[in-house]
Amino acid sequence: MSGNQIIFMDLDTRKKWGLIVKAVVIMLILLIPRTIIDISGYDTVPINPVVGAFITGAIFTIAIIFSGTFTDFKESEKVGGDLAASLKALYNDSRVLPLKDEAPARVFRAHVRDLHRTLNRCFRDNSWNLPEINRDMDKINDDIRTLAYADVAPPLIAKLRNELGAIDRMTNRVEVIIRTDFIPAAYALAEIATISVILLLLFVKIDPLAEATIVFGVICTMLVGLLYLIRDMDNPFEIGEHTYADVDLETLNYLETYFDGQDAAEAARAGN
């Protein structure tokens, strides 16, 4: 197994288990005062239907907030593939245009590749630079105008404009997702519910000690883990080793290889 494979395997492992490990560490820290309270006899809150209903209600509240962020996350997962499809369509459509002079089409494809590189860099650096993206799209728009003056059929021009418009909508959508947070009041409610349940569990009387430790550990780990996951899912485009819920942009990354292959094939045909 190569060194790169090991690195990627470690990264995948961190993505899968990193958040759980963080939640378990916090649980172990909270387990110290819980154990002290249990041994000292300060765990005086009895288990009753009211306590059970309170814990169930808190978990239910967090689950509702999680379902809301999960819906946005699933929508964000489509962005990489949709952007790649539109960029690929722009690139390939320019190769079938009925032009006597291929120079405008080559410039068009070069600008499409520039836009693709800008998008990849913004995702990779976690720095969404919408003005720079708009400048690259303006170049493509000017290229479409040049093609229109070159008497390209209006339906083909309209198709190029539609694809560019789709890219514009998606890039603005990414900007909104990155810039805005999920309902702040919902986050506050989830945090209050989690803290309240943990404080209650610190003083709930459960015998024996081993059983109390297991119950506290499981509930605490689940609540803290869900809270971290909701926070992380709020910005699904925050790519990096220290994020645990980010969208798959591999399709967009692969497009660079596809463009290189197409350009090499075109250069070979031109050489012959």
Would you state the pLDDT for residue 109? 92
Indicate whether this model's pTM tops 0.85: no
pLDDT at 235 over 80: no
pLDDT at 3 over 70: no
**Is the sign of the CA dihedral 42, 44, 47, 51 positive or negative?**
negative
Q: Among the ranges 10-14, 55-59, 157-161, 215-219, which has the highest mean pLDDT value? A: 157-161
pLDDT digits (tens, 9 = 90+) for 72-114: 777 788 888 899 999 999 999 988 888 888 888 899 999 999 9
**Cβ-Cβ contacts under 8 Å for 80 (sequence gap 6 or more):** 247, 248, 249, 250, 251, 252
pLDDT at 227 over 80: yes
Task: Please give the mean pLDDT across all residues of the chain.
Answer: 83
pLDDT digits (tens, 9 = 90+) for 142-154: 999 999 888 888 8
Structure confidence at residue 183 as a pLDDT band (50, 70, 90): low
**Cβ-Cβ contacts under 8 Å for 52 (sequence gap 6 or more):** none
